[in-house]
Amino acid sequence: MLLWLTEILSQYFSSLTVFQYLTLRAILGVMTALGISLLLGPWMIRKLNQLQIGQSVRDDGPQSHLSKS
């Protein structure tokens, strides 16, 4: 939908044609996802810890691995 909007508006604003490039849209998508994960990540980790959701450590592994948890 945003691509369609930029196609229409590029007739009036020539600088909007830059959004037609797939590489720019991919970079903007990656940066958006990174920003969202950096903003919401710590909150999500705290929330999951409060709800006591996590992985359990198995006892049948090597003893050196048990000290990591």
Q: What is the pLDDT of residue 68?
A: 62
Q: Which of 32, 33, 12, 10 is nearest to 21 (CA)?
A: 10
pLDDT averaged over every residue in the chain: 88
User: What is the value of pTM for the model shown?
Assistant: 0.64
In the structure, what pLDDT confidence band is assigned to residue 62 with cuts at 50, 70 and 90?
Answer: confident
CA distance 68 to 65: 6
24 Cβ partners below 8 Å, 6+ apart? Answer: 18
Rounded to 5°, the CA angle 27-31-36 comes to 150
- The 10s digit of each residue's pLDDT in 12-38 is 998 888 988 999 999 999 999 999 999
Q: How many of the other CB atoms lie within 10 Å of CB of 16?
A: 15
